[in-house]
Amino acid sequence: MKFLVCISKAPDTTTKIDFVDNNTKFNETGVQYIVNPYDEWYALVRALELKETLGGTVTTITVGTPEDEAIIRKALAIGADDSVRINADAKDAYYTAFQIAEFAKKGAYDIVFVGKETINYNGSQVGGMIAEMMNVPYVSLAAKLDLAGNTATIHKEMTGGVEVIELNTPFVISSAKGMAEQRIPNMRGIMAARTKPLQVVEPVACDQLVSFVSYDLPKTKSACKFVAPDNMAELVNLLHTEAKVI
């Protein structure tokens, strides 16, 4: 089995978000980058588990600049066999998906994994776009994936429950909580990652369909109004007459 796992860079979850250049650019000063948690904890680790039981290879792919190699090496340290970096600073999800799909079409991958969303853009876009560009099925928000031969059984989220579905490879799957447990790379993995193959591929031409013109921080809340714990009548009154939410 050949697995391709899409890996994206994201600011650490504790990062304080602000912007520079007239609110047009994310302020990267002092930001620690990590592998996007959904890509790492669920997509990558489940691909590795399947490879360990069924055999095969796990390749990661990232559309990014040379600065992204630190997080790519992290994925290799966790256990991926090799990595690909498409040498581009992606401007939108379509661009990212197009680069990955162009690469994946040539590789005869059985499953292309993505995380359910990135924690910086939260768009849940790239997986579905790749599937359409490759003309293969897309399974969104999977919480469990098992494989027998080329038939996959998948638990996916549905409104108010879980749907158990079956389909054959190849397909693209977006991975949510439940797919796997986070793995901490060990020293041997970290050492091995230094010499694992990391192929750099130049991007293909692609239009940019959307542009982020600027960013805003959410309106800061006015100061919290405190209510004494023995005066819940007052809280209920405020929620009813002032906030008008009950």
Q: Looking only at residues 96 through 125 of this chain, which bind other proteins when binding is defined by CB under 8 A?
A: 97, 119-125
Bridge partners, 148 (sequence order) = 151
Q: Interface with other proteins includes 161 (CB under 8 A)?
A: yes
d(CA 159, CA 166): 19
Nearer to other proteins, 158 or 204 (CB): 158
Residues within window 196-235 making contact with other proteins, judged by CB under 8 A: 207-218, 221-222, 224-230, 232-233, 235
Query: Is residue 131 a contact point for other proteins (CB under 8 A)?
Result: yes
Q: Which member of 129, 145, 180, 193 binds other proteins (CB under 8 A)?
A: 129
Closest-CA residue to 76 (of 194, 229, 170): 194
List, as one string, the DSSP characters of 26-64: E--TTPPEEE-HIIIIIIIHHHHHHHHHH--EEEEEEEE
Nearer CB in complex with other proteins: 178/189: 178
How far, in Å, CA of 3 to CA of 46, rounded? Answer: 10
Measured from the CB atom, the residue of 200 and 236 that comes closer to other proteins is: 236
Q: How many residues does the chain have?
A: 246
3-state secondary structure at position 64? strand
Smallest distance from other proteins to CB 242, Å: 9
Reported as type and span, the H/E element at residue 194 is: none
Task: Note whether 33 binds other proteins by CB under 8 A.
Answer: no
Enumerate the β-bridge partners of residue 168. 151
> Out of 28, 70, 150, 240, which residue is the one contacting other proteins (CB under 8 A)?
240
- Round to whole Å and give the CA distance between 9 and 32: 10
Residue 19 neighbours by CB distance under 10 Å: 14
The footprint of other proteins on this chain (CB under 8 A) covers a number of residues equal to: 78
Q: Based on CB atoms, which residue is closest to other proteins, 168 or 199?
A: 168
Q: Does 160 bind other proteins (CB under 8 A)?
A: yes
By CB under 8 A, the residues from 46 to 85 that bind other proteins are: none
**CB closer to other proteins, 82 vs 89:** 89
CA distance 223 to 77: 45
- Does the CA dihedral 161-167-172-175 come out positive or negative? positive
Shortest distance in whole angstroms from residue 72 CB to other proteins: 21
28, 52, 67, 132: which one binds other proteins (CB under 8 A) = 132
